[in-house]
Amino acid sequence: MIRFIFIQNVLGKTRLAKYYVPLDDSEKHKIEYEVHRLVSSRSTKFANTVEFRTHKLVYRKYAGLFFTLCVDVNENELAYLELIHLFVEVLDHYFNYVKEIHLVYNFHKVFVILDELILSGEPQESSKKVILERLRSLERLE
Amino acid sequence: MGISLFQKSLRDMISGMRSNRNNEEKYIQKSMEDIKKELKSTDMKVKTVALQKLTYLNMLGFDMSWAAFHVVEVMSTPKLLHKVVGYQAAAQSFNEGTDVMLLITNLLKKDLISTNPTERSIGLDCLSNIVTLDLARDLIADVYGLLSSSSAPCRKRSALVLYCCFLKYPDALRPCFKGLVEHLDDHEQSVVCSVVSVLCELVIKHPHNYLEMAPLFYRLLLNSTNNWMTMKLLKIFGALTPLEPRLTKKIVEPLKNIMSSTMAKSLLFDCITTVCSGMTSNEEIVEMALGHLKDFVLDSDPNLKYLGFKALEQFVKHIPETVLRFGNAALMCLSTADPTIRSSALRVISGLVSKKDLKEVIVRVLEHIPSADTAYRNELSEVVLSICCRDKYSLVSDFSWYLNILVELARVPGSVHGKTIAFQITDIACRVEAMRDDAVQAVRSLLIDPFVVEMGKSGSIGEVLKATAWITGEYASFVEHPKETIEALLQPGILKLPCSVQAMYIQAILKVFVHITNDLVCDDDADEASQSEKDGSTWVEGEDDAEEDNGDEELDKLGVVNELSDLILAHVDQYSDTPDPEVVERMSQLKAVLDLQKGMDDIKDVKDLFSKLHGIISEELQPISGKAQKKVPLPEDLQVIDPIMEEFFDEEFDLQQAEEDVEVADNQAASVTSSRGMDAAQALTEATEEQKKFADETAKNQLKQHREKHGVFYLSSDDKQGAGDMGEDDGGEVENVSVQEPPVDVSEDSATKVDALTSYRRKKKKKKKQPTDLVVKQDEDVNEGVDSPVKINKNALDVNPLAPLEDGEELPSVEAYPTSYSNEGDMPTYETSYEPVHSQNTEAPPAEKQKHKSRRRRKHKSRKEKEGAPQEATAAET
């Protein structure tokens, strides 16, 4: 089960934070800070997993952004790396060559996209085509 | 109204923030104030934009809990665009403590049963984020209904949302399970995949409940086309195979096929994990897995390396012999810069070591210490220490070598393992007689090195020095250069060490001195004298005492002893300023002995004194077994059970009871989930027979009155005993909670108390003659007696979902919650939402009172109207 997903830039600003477990606000900020410190201090040559409290972080760096997932210890990291990649691909397709600025100005849309991908801590849909179709139909409503 | 004519949109606000980077705080404050004003406006569009901005600020870290009510307002608008914003805000900011949660149940319900698929999906999404026990209980029936919707995405979502509802409201698992499992045959792969995900999470936590479903999973595994689903199924099998070895044989074939055919490394890795979790008995597949693992470990991609080692860790636990070939690769990886890989490799190594290659492995591990940083050094030291002391040093064959290793480890700067090292050195010296000599020699280097003493000021090496001093003192017979040793024990640097260490040093000085003097002076024992020559000890610098004649010899010896005592006395005064009482005590002891000796001119007195002292200190200290105390027989005349003073106790007071009470008091501090704790809590809640009878009677009377008043809601009384047996749970075992309050008062309890009510009836397994009523169901729909909400997840989901449902176990039906509102007009308003409970009691029929939901604002419908509602609901559904 996924516990939270962050998109943070190299300076530590959180561009997106979605939690699938209930947490206090102060806890949330502490975690965001710790995760950023942990993830940004690791060199690119290291493995993309690191232990964090009693769970595990799976992360990947795309341009200036860190995409971090927190999962249980027994989960398969490679699968979640693939999930992160799928997320990035969907964002890319939706925003047409997504950049950080897109995420800043359209955070509510990013949340919608994320909800299509992950629901209640589990991956919901693994086909990029299906997700993009759904997003288009949602857009038409607007 | 004070709102500026042009409301800033989200985009404007963000641009504003970015351009005002210098005074961002001020800008944000201003925006917050604007938002507060805008939220109070009546125009929904203005409200929505304001809420969107607020959500953004919340993501940056600003509190938005004050706006909870406005969120609900925006959520209840019919316009989809605005609704989405409201739901997002709710998903982000609502939590268990939000008061207005009570208001949104109805909103969500309307959305879940709406005909518009988008509304349904956003309702489901929101629910998955904010689900609480109340929401789960009220909406589970609707979510379950959506499972049979015609739209595939809807089914997919509702399956996943069901899972998070189960986490909060475990009683729903059994009724929903059958329906959930039916969808494993769904023709849409994505729906099947979602159901499998849910089942995977459930199976992993409590695999023994799902063994019967293995054939179903097997079929799915064979037909699966989706990698994600295959991975989840493999996880399921990984959890099931340890419990059912026959499964191993069955899945070997499909697993082999997958492993050889797949291109996806992630799937391959999952196969390997499945193999190592339950299938290690099957050699063929283990070989295959290990072959792949070799590729992983030797791959240059750090991710694959790490995964390879992680899987090896698992293998090492079960079948260390087969993994020996990886030892080399693991040792090589110790030098990588990546800490995750290193730690994993270390763990693998610690499982692979055998007696033969222990030396080699340890030496190679220690090679990395000089170049490592502090944390890694500590890790390496820890691994070495733990490997060697495993099973009481079963792997170590050469203890003198190991003692040297320990001393080396003690010298590592920044080490935190001083205590362990100290313990191990002392342990070995104590237990292994042959090693005492080596121990003394080994620690000597630590003793005389002033640099080590310097390090001992801070850091754990102080403990090692303490052990060093003790060993030197205890086994002073092996000390080769006693004068040097005493000088080392008297170093001025000692003063900076912790007081306990200082005390040990002083004691060691005393012991060594007594020993030397005894050896020197009591030379009747020719062996001792020759031994001191053999050791090459030079009592007297440069002089050869063997050639002096006896009288001179004796004088010389006395002279030497005096010299030593002078030396000690000169230095020992440096301790006189210390505040620690033990140090002062020992120092004065030492001084007393020395003064005594100085006062003696006759060597015979000296001999006398020191032989006695020597006798005292040379008594051997042996380790004692932990069970030794129990073997000591209690003396016959020892009375511990009889009471000390009779008159304190009542006639009824039972000693048994007293013992139980003491136990209870002890156990109250213990974890509640321990079975002893449960028994203790049981003991607490158990009422005496009289109390029980009285409570029973009162309950029955009250129930009778209740029924007479509202007869239509109750079934025939004979098997209704369960209702009368309801009682409060004081935080203990479900079964034996005593009756204390009749059901009527239940509705006024807080929700948490209701949650803790027993499902007593279920335990008794009484058959109900008719389909159960609302009232009865309410009694059932409570959690099992688990105390804290956190533990609900772990224990309460441990039910067998495949057993047939009993009569009482049904989902709260859809009509359990009133839905017939005329829509817009009934938007919850702030004033009416918090009507005090008692004003509702008089109006509402007791059926509603029984539900804890009576707290909420509710237009009280009569029962007949509610019956009309489900027909509406079902009509809306289709």
Same domain, B316 and B273: yes
d(CA A72, CA A24): 20
Instruction: Tell me if B60 sits within 8 A of B68, measured CB to CB.
Output: no
Per-residue pLDDT at A67: 93
Is the CB of B85 less than 8 angstroms away from the CB of A17? no
**Contact between B84 and A112 using a beta-carbon 8 Å cutoff:** yes
Angle, alpha carbons A125-B234-A53 (nearest 5°) = 75
Q: What is the pLDDT of residue B12?
A: 84
Helix (H) or strand (E) holding A49: strand A49-52
Q: Which of A14, A22, A124 lies closest to B194 in CB terms?
A: A124
CATH number at residue B312: 1.25.10.10
Question: How far is it, in rounded angstroms, from Cα B550 to Cα A25?
Answer: 88
Q: Which residue has the tokens 């569009």?
A: B45
Nearest chain A residue to B226, by CA: A126
Q: Is A78 in Cβ contact with B88 (below 8 Å)?
A: no
| Higher local confidence (pLDDT), B621 or B724 | B621
pLDDT band at B790 (very low <50, low <70, confident <90, very high): very low
- Whether the CB of A53 is below 8 Å from some CB of chain B: the reply is no
Mutate which of A19, A42, A84, A119 to test chain B, going by most B C-beta atoms within 10 A? A119
Boundary-marking domain end, from B270, B305, B329: B329
Structure confidence by residue, pLDDT tens digits, B118-159 = 888 888 888 888 888 888 888 888 888 888 888 888 888 888
Chains A–B, number of C-beta pairs less than 8 Å apart: 120
- Chain B closest CA to A142's CA: distance in Å? 7
Q: Which tokens hold the place of B249?
A: 């044989």
One domain for residues B676 and B545: no
At B684 the pLDDT is 57
Query: Would an 8 Å CB–CB cutoff place A16 in contact with chain B?
Result: yes
Q: Are residues B628 and B720 in the same domain?
A: no
Same domain, B672 and B633: no
- Tokens representing A9 are 């830039």
Q: Is B47 contained in some domain?
A: yes
Contacts of B262 in chain A (CB under 8 A): none
Q: Which of B56, B270, B302 sits opposite A107 (nearest CB)?
A: B56
B435 found inside a domain: no
Contact A77 B307 (CB under 8 A): yes
B302 contacts in chain A (CB < 8 Å) = 45-48
Give the closest-approach CA distance of A68 to chain B in angstroms: 15
Tens-digit pLDDT profile for residues B253-301: 888 888 888 888 888 888 888 888 877 777 888 888 888 888 888 888 8
What's the total number of domains in chain B?
A: 3
Check CB contact under 8 Å for B160 and A105.
no
Alpha-carbon distance A76 to nearest alpha carbon in chain B (angstroms): 7
Q: Which residues of B touch A115 (CB under 8 A)?
A: 125
**Residues of A whose CB is below 8 A from B11:** 105
pLDDT at residue B711 in the model: 59
> pLDDT tens, position by position, for chain A (142 residues)?
899 999 998 888 888 888 888 888 788 888 999 999 988 888 888 888 888 888 999 999 988 899 999 998 888 888 899 999 999 999 999 888 888 888 888 888 888 888 888 888 888 888 888 888 888 888 887 6
Per-residue model confidence as pLDDT tens digits over B34-46: 888 888 888 888 8
Closest chain A C-alpha to B296 CA, distance in angstroms? 12
Q: In chain B, what residues touch A130 (CB-CB under 8 Å)?
A: 190
A79 vs B18, B193, B266: nearest CB: B266
Q: Specify the higher pLDDT residue, B145 or B874.
A: B145
Lowest mean pLDDT among A76-85, B17-26, B65-74, B686-695: B686-695
Judged against a pLDDT cut of 50, whether residue B862 lies above it is answered with no
pLDDT for the residue numbered B28: 87
For the stretch B482-493, pLDDT in tens is 788 888 888 877
Query: B646 and B610 in one domain?
Result: no
Q: Please give the C-alpha separations between residue B792 and each of B668, B673, B783, B798, in angstroms, as whole numbers.
A: 20, 11, 8, 10
Q: Are residues B526 and B596 in the same domain?
A: yes
Confidence of residue B866 (pLDDT cuts 50, 70, 90): very low
Same domain? B612 vs B725 = no
Domain shared by B540 and B649, yes or no: no
Q: Which amino acid type is present at position B766?
A: K
At residue B685, does pLDDT exceed 60?
Answer: no
Place of tokens 């000169």: B570
Residue reference for tokens 């509602």: B869
> Which of the residue ranges B96-110, B257-271, B457-471, B778-792 would you say has the lowest mean pLDDT?
B778-792
B615 shares its domain with B631 = yes
Question: Which A positions 95-124 lie with beta carbon below 8 A of chain B?
Answer: 104-105, 107-108, 111-112, 115, 119-124
**Residue B673 within any structural domain of the chain:** yes
Contact B129 A138 (CB under 8 A): no
Tell me whether A8 touches chain B (CB under 8 Å).
no
What φ, ψ does residue A52 adopt, rounded to 5°?
-140, 115
Topology of domain A2-141 in CATH is Beta-Lactamase (3.30.450)
Domain assignment of residue B391, yes or no:
no
Q: Which of B640, B665, B685 is the last residue of a domain?
A: B640
What pLDDT was estimated at residue B391?
A: 79
Q: Are residue B618 and residue B647 in the same domain, yes or no?
A: no
- Confidence grade of residue B27 (pLDDT, cut at 50, 70, 90): confident
- Looking at the complex, report in whole angstroms how far the Cα of residue B98 sits from the nearest Cα belonging to chain A: 12
**Does residue B871 fall inside a structural domain?**
no
- Residue-averaged pLDDT of chain B: 73
Asked if A43 reaches chain B (Cβ–Cβ under 8 Å), the answer is yes
Query: Chain A residue closest to B267 (CA)?
Result: A79
Q: Which residue has the higher pLDDT, B777 or A116?
A: A116
Contacts of B124 in chain A (CB under 8 A): 119
Q: Are the Cβ atoms of A115 and B125 closer than 8 angstroms?
A: yes
Query: Long-range contacts for B679-687 (Cβ within 8 Å, ≥24 apart)?
Result: B679/B733, B680/B732, B681/B730, B681/B731, B681/B732, B681/B733, B682/B732, B682/B733, B682/B736, B684/B730, B684/B732, B685/B729, B685/B730, B685/B732, B685/B736, B685/B737, B685/B738, B686/B736, B686/B738, B687/B738, B687/B739, B687/B740
- Please tell me the distance from the alpha carbon of residue B717 to that of residue B245, in angstroms, as a whole number: 50
Looking at residue A86, its pLDDT comes to 92
Are B613 and B724 found together in one domain? no
Listed in order, strand segments (DSSP E) in B323-428 are none
Closest-CA residue in chain B for A2?
Answer: B201
pLDDT of B661: 62
Identify the three-state secondary structure at position B235: helix
Cβ contact A46–B305 (<8 Å) = no
* Least CB–CB distance from A78: residue in B193, B265, B338: B265
Least confident of B50-54, B423-427, B627-631: B627-631
> B225 lies in a domain?
yes
pLDDT at B844: 39
Among B52, B129, B266, beta carbon nearest to A82:
B266
Domain that holds residue B510: 479-640
Would you say residue B869 lies in a domain? no
- Which of B74, B146, B164 to mutate against chain A (most A CBs within 10 Å)? B164
Q: Given an 8 Å threshold on Cβ–Cβ distance, is A108 in contact with B153?
A: no
User: Which residue, of B735, B759, B784, is where some domain finishes?
Assistant: B735
Check whether residue B531 and residue B673 sit in a common domain.
Answer: no
What is the pLDDT at residue A84?
Answer: 92
Interchain CB distance below 8 Å, B128 and A119: yes
- B312, B336, B340, B338: which is closest to B326 by C-alpha? B312
Query: What is the band of B651 on the pLDDT scale with cuts at 50, 70, 90?
Result: low
Whether B226 sits inside 8 A of A126 (CB atoms) is yes
What is the DSSP code string of B586-623? Answer: HHHHHHHHHHHHHH--SHHHHHHHHHHHHHHHTSPP--
pLDDT at B352 over 90: no
